[in-house]
Amino acid sequence: MKRERLYLYNRDIVNCFMTIQEITTRKEDQTFDCKSIQIDPKALAVPIVAFANADGGVIAIGVSDKTRKIEGVDQHTEKLNELLRVPFDFCNPSVPVTCSYLPCTDKDGNENHILLMEIPASSSLHTNQADEAFMRVGDKSRKLTFDERVQLMYDKGERYYEDTAVYDATIDDIDMDAVADYAKLVGYGKSPLQYLRENNGFVKTNKKVAIKREQSDARISSAEREQARLEVNGEEEVSTACILLFGKYPQKFFPRARTRFIRYEGVDEKVGAEMNVIKDVTFEGTILNQVKKTIEFIETQVREHTFLGQHAQFVTKRDYPEFVIQEMTVNACCHRAYNIKGTEIQIKMFDDRLVFESPGKLPGQVKPNNIRHTHFSRNPKIAAFLKAYHFVKEFGEGFDRICREQEANGANVPSFRTDEFILKITVPKVSEKVNVNVTEKVDATGNVTENVTDASQKTSQKIIDLIKEDPYISTTKMAEIIGVDRRNIARNIKKLKEQGAVRRVGPDKGGFWELLFGEDMMLKRKKEQE
C-alpha cells in the first residue's frame, strides 16, 4: 500500500515539458535518454549520476531505448516506485530529481503515461551505490577514471588543487618579504608566518617536512622558526597556493606554471620550414609577477590606429581594448588547472586575433552560454590575492565587461573551444573600418577640392599607420605596401598636411615624417584661426 500511495502521489505531479513526438523521434544525446520500465534500479543510477555530473538532462522512462516503442508505466506500479527511489537509494549523494508524467497511448493502443525524470546539473560529484562516478559524454554515460574523478571534484569546487600539499617544499622556499607585503596590503598586523598559518599557507598531511637549519630568514625569529617546526613537522606542509603566490621560485615545483607569449606573422600557425613565429617570450616567477610582465609585454605588441573620423576629428583605436588584455591574462593565470602539469599558458597573437590557451576546461557550472553572468573560481585563494592587487575588479563581472568592451569597439565577443584538456578563448581584433562623412573642402582660390571618399580615407589611414611604424618610410615604399601608385600617395599626403595631421621634417631624401596629433594639432589649428 505504501508503494502504491507513493506512485499515486507522484502521478499527480504533471509538468509536461516534452511532447510524445519529441520523445519518440529525438536521438539520445548529451541531455536526453530513454529507458524501459524494466530497467534495473542499479542500472538507472548510472545515467542519473552521469547527467548530474555533467550538464543535467531528462530521462524518459516507459520508452524502449532500443525500439522507441512506448511501453508506459501505468501497469508497473511496484517497479515504478523502485525507480522513483533510485535518486535517493542508489546515488551518493542523493540527486534532486524532478518527476512528471506525460499522458500517452502505448504500443497496445491503451491510455498510459511516460515518466520524465529531469536531472539538474549539480555542484557536487555524484556516484552510484558502488562508488563509481560517471559523466555524460554525448549519448553515453562514461565511467570516470580516478584522475578524471579528482579533476571533476576540483572543477566543482568540492576540492581545490591550490589547497593540496607541495611535498618537497619547505618554509625556506617561501619569500617572506612577499608575504609581508601582501599581509600589509590586506591590513593584517601579525607576522608573515602567522599569516600563512591562519590563511591556509600550510595544509595537513601525514608526511613530515624538514625545515633546513642552515637557512634563515630575517623575517622569521628563532622562536617562530621552532614553533613552525613543531607545527609543520608530521602535520602540515606548504600549500600549492602558497608556493604559486609567495614562492621564491615556483617553477622549481611547477615547471610549467608559466605564461608563454607567441606572435605569428599572418593568420595561421605554421611549422617546419614555413614557421612564422616572430616573437616567443616566456614569463616565470609568482603568479603576480607573471600577470604584470605578461600584460606589460602584450601592450608593446598592440598597435594603435589613428584615422580621420566624423567632423574631421582624428580618432585612435587599439587592436584590443586595454581591459580585455588585462582581464584575459588575469583569467588565464587565475583560473588555469594547475594540477595539469604538462603544458603552460600560451597566448598567441595573430594578425586578426588573440588566442588564450589555458590548461583545464571551463570550471564548475560555467558554460559558454552563461559565462557572462556566472562566476566560479577554480582557485579562490589565487583570485582573492589578485583582487587585493586590483587585477580582479569584481567577482563575476570580468567576462561580461570583456564582451561589452569588444562590442563597444565594433568587434565580435570572444569564442570558446576545448581541445582535450586545454581551454582556448579567441578574442577577435577590433575592426579598423570607420564610417567617414563625405565632405567637400574649398581651397584658398575658391576651387572645390575632390571629395574625401571611403577609398581615399582608407589610404590615408594606412599612410598614418605606416608612418607610425617607420617615420623614415618613402612614398615609393608606401605605394608598394598599400598597393596604389605614387600619385595616389602624394594626393593623400597633401590632404593630411592640409588637415594638420602630418608634416615632413628635412629633405625628401634623408628626412622623416612627423605625425601631429593631440596638443600639437590643436595648437596648429588655433594659430591658423588667428
Q: Report pLDDT digits (tens) over 4-33.
A: 333 333 344 344 457 888 888 888 888 899
Share of the chain above pLDDT 70, in %: 78
Cβ neighbours of residue 468 under 8 Å, at least 6 residues apart?
A: 304, 306, 515
- Decide which of 211 and 102 is more confident: 102
Mean pLDDT value across residues 259-280:
92
pLDDT given for residue 132 in this prediction: 93
| pLDDT > 80? residue 157 | no
Neighbouring C-beta atoms of residue 164, cutoff 10 Å: 17
Which cell numbers hold the place of 297?
609585454
Q: How far apart are CA 245 and CA 247, in angstroms?
A: 6
Cα–Cα dist 502/500, whole Å: 6
**Side chain identity at 423, as an amino acid letter?**
L
**Residues forming beta bridges with residue 514, ordered by sequence position:** 503
Examine domains 2-144 and 259-428 and report if their fold is the same: no
Q: Which of 308-317, 319-328, 471-480 has the lowest mean pLDDT?
A: 308-317
pLDDT tens digits, residue range 108-140? 999 999 999 999 888 789 999 899 999 998 888
Query: Per CATH, is 2-144 categorized as 3.20.20.70?
Result: no
Distances (CA, A) of 454 to 246, 433, 467, 511: 55, 10, 20, 30
- C-alpha 340/C-alpha 359 separation (Å) is 6
Closest to 46 measured CA to CA, from 98, 92, 96: 92
Q: With pLDDT > 90 as the criterion, what percentage of the chain qualifies? A: 38
Mean pLDDT score of the chain: 80
User: How crowded is residue 198: how many other Cβ atoms within 10 Å of its Cβ?
Assistant: 11
How far, in Å, CA of 37 to CA of 71, rounded?
A: 7
Q: What is the pLDDT of residues 31-58, one digit of tens each?
A: 899 999 999 999 999 999 999 988 788 9
Helices (H), 90-175: 146-155
pLDDT at 172 over 50: yes
The answer to whether the beta carbons of residues 261 and 280 sit under 8 Å apart is: yes
Helix (H) or strand (E) holding 143: strand 140-143
Please state whether 360 falls in left (phi above 0), alpha (psi between -120 and 50) or beta: left
Three-state DSSP string of 192-223: HHHHHHHCCCEEECCCCCCCCCCCCCCCCCHH
Cell of 30: 548529451
Note the pLDDT of residue 176: 95
**Is residue 106 over pLDDT 70?**
yes
Q: Looking at the predicted structure, is the pLDDT value of residue 240 above 50?
A: yes
Could you tell me whether strands 502-505 and 512-515 are parallel, antiparallel, or unpaired per DSSP bridges? antiparallel
Domain 259-428: which CATH number of 2.40.160.10, 3.40.190.290, 3.30.70.260, 3.30.565.60 = 3.30.565.60
Whether 93 has a pLDDT exceeding 80, the answer reads yes
pLDDT at 391: 85
Domain locations in the chain as residue ranges:
2-144, 163-248, 259-428, 454-529
Fold of 454-529: Arc Repressor Mutant, subunit A (1.10.10)
Q: Which helix (H) or strand (E) holds 515?
A: strand 512-515
Q: For residue 445, name the pLDDT band (cuts at 50, 70, 90).
A: very low
